[in-house]
Every structure is written in C-alpha cells, then in structure tokens.
Chains A and B, each alone.
Chain A
Amino acid sequence: MIFLAYTPFVQPLPLWGHFAQIAWVLPICAALSIVYKSIRCHRMSSVPREAAVIFATIIGGMVLAAVVLAMLVKFLI
C-alpha cells in the first residue's frame, strides 16, 4: 500500500529493510571503482578487470572491518 502514494524522485524510496540499507553500499562502490579506474588505467580495455579488483577489495575490506568490530563487541566488551 505504501507504493500507491510514492512519487519517484520526489519522495524517498520506500524500501527500507535492514538488508536494503546495507545493500546500497554496492552501487556506490561499483561507481567509484569504475570512474577511478577509468581515469587511472592506460587502456580502457583493462578497466573492467581493474574495477572488479578494486570493488572486491573495498567490499572485502569493509566486511573484514565489520567482522573484526563485531568480534570485539561480542568477546571483549
């Protein structure tokens, strides 16, 4: 029912579960990786591979940080 009153681009997107909030990190990381590597790479043909690597690195780093912090909270504090 919430979609009936929804106007795209005027009102905020009404999809706000816990997973949806976390999942919005993926598009911004992907865009950042693509633009950054498009600027840095010598040849555009190497951009998809390079962007995938940096995207995986960012997401992996954030997951690792989250796991470490969760363990700190669970076992030490």
Chain B
Amino acid sequence: MKVPSQDKKAERRQKNGALLFFYLTVRDDASGNVGSAVRNIFLWLAILVPHSGTYYSDFPDMPKRRPFNAPAPVIAIVNWLIPGSGYLMLGQVARGLTIGFTILILFTLGILIGGIHVVDPPNLSALKGNVVRTILEKPWYIGQFMSGAIGLISGWIGPMQPASHARANDIGTLYTAVAGMLNLLATIDSSYRTTLEDPYEPSATEGP
C-alpha cells in the first residue's frame, strides 16, 4: 500500500526525470554529437530517479519506504559483500535478516566443521599459465567467493592454517560453497527487486 505523501514525491520525481530525459534527447538531436558517455549517465539517472523511493516492505512493523535509494548494481554489490544487506536497503528487513543470518551461520558452520583451510583460493600470484585453468583447479572457491567479505577474509587467512582431510574437509567445503551460492541467489533476487515497481508482485517472485 502506498502512503499519499510518498505518491506525490514519486510523481514529482517521475516528472523531473522525464523532463531531464526530454531535454537531453532534444539537445543531442540539435547538436548532433554531445559527449555520449556523460549523456548516458544522465539518461540512466533520468530513468532511475523516478523509480526511487517507491518500494515497500510487506512486514507490518517495518518502515514502508526504502531507506536507501540505490540502483540495482549497488544493491547487488552490497548484498554480495554482506549477505542479506541488499534486502535491508530495500526496506525488507525480515527477509534480509533471515537470509543474511542463515547464510552466515551456514558459512561459519562449514569453517567449524572443516577448519578455516577449507576456504582455499587459487594462487594467482604464482600464475604460470591460463588464468581460467588455474581458477578451475580449485572450483569450490568460486562458490566460496560468492559469500562476500567473509569468504574473502577466510580465503586470506585459510591457506596459512593447517589443512583438514577426508570427510571433514569435504563437508566443510560443501557448506561454505553452498552458503556462497545461496548468497548469489539472494544477490540476483535483491537486485532484481529494485527494478520492480512493486517488489511483491506474485508473478515476479512467487513460486513453488
């Protein structure tokens, strides 16, 4: 449900964005070649600004408005760094906290089971051949890397610690990699929700 004052603000932003878009388009037509890179940035802003501040939480006790007006790429990067924080920026506090804590607990459990050495990044500093081949030698780190800051820090500390073996290593690696892949899922979803007029449209997010 939209609050009337927020409706007015959204309408005003939409008008301003449309005017800016119109001005830039006309100016481009008249001069023939206006710095296209700068123009594109303004065009993006003209598209994004009208859509800001129009997203609401479905959790009754939470604020009905987005606390931060950020575009989808920013939401994606923030959510990747700190799992669940992308939803918090959208004002979806319950969803963000649930997803964030679950992913962090899963990753921490993985390190507890197998030791921190289960996060073992490929050694790119001693690269001898193909970058892709070097990364694919340790494919689990692709998943672990997706868990964000905790994955990066663990990948920095992990190789300095003693390695585990057998089942402990397998299960710990699986836990941390799955945590990262779940964070990737949440990152895609949170950034996608920023592009929706109503992020709670059943057709957009509802599923089996």
Interface residues of A, Cβ cutoff 8 Å to B: 8-13, 16, 21, 24, 27-28, 31-32, 34-36, 38-44, 47
Our count of residue pairs bridging A and B at CB distance below 8 angstroms stands at 86
- Which B96-119 residues have C-beta < 8 A from chain A? 98-99, 102-103, 105-106, 109, 111-116
Interface string of B52-71 (1 = CB under 8 A from A): 00000011000000000000
The reply to whether A13 and B182 contact each other, CB–CB distance below 8 Å, is no
Set of chain B residues within 8 Å of A12, measured between Cβ atoms:
113-115, 164-165, 168-169, 172
Among B16-24, B122-130, B199-207, the stretch that binds chain A is B199-207
A3 to B99, CA, bound (A): 33
Chain A interface helix/strand/loop/mixed: helix
* Contact B205–A34 (Cβ < 8 Å): no
- Of the candidates B116, B175, B189, B202, the one whose C-beta lies within 8 Å of that of A9 is B116
Minimum Cβ distance to chain A for residue B41 (Å): 31
Asked if A32 meets B112 with Cβ closer than 8 Å, knowing A21-B171, A38-B95, A38-B98, the reply is: no
Nearest-CB residue, chain A, relative to B105: A31
Tier of interface size on chain B:
35 or more
B102 with A31: CB separation less than 8 A:
yes
Docked CA distance A13–B202 (Å): 43
CB of B161 within 8 A of chain A? yes
Interchain CB contact under 8 A, A39 and B109: no
Residues of B within 8 A of A11 (CB): 115, 162, 164
| Chain A CB within 8 A of B136 CB | no
Partner of B178, one of A32, A34, A43: A32
Choose among B114, B162, B179, B182 the residue with the greatest number of A CB atoms under 10 Å from its CB: B182
Residues of B within 8 A of A (CB): 58-59, 94-95, 98-99, 102-103, 105-106, 109, 111-116, 161-162, 164-165, 167-169, 171-172, 174-175, 178-179, 182, 185-186, 189, 200, 202, 205-208
What separation, in Å, do the CA atoms of A24 and B167 have in the docked complex?
A: 11
Chain A neighbourhood of B94, CB < 8 A: 44
Partner of B205, one of A16, A24, A39: A39
Could you tell me if A35 and B175 are in contact, using CB atoms closer than 8 angstroms? no
Which B residues are CB-close (under 8 A) to A47? 98
User: Are B112 and A16 in contact, CB atoms less than 8 angstroms apart?
Assistant: no
A selection of 13 A-B contacts at a CB cut-off of 8 Å is A9-B116, A11-B164, A12-B113, A12-B115, A13-B112, A16-B167, A21-B167, A24-B171, A32-B178, A39-B99, A40-B207, A44-B95, A47-B98
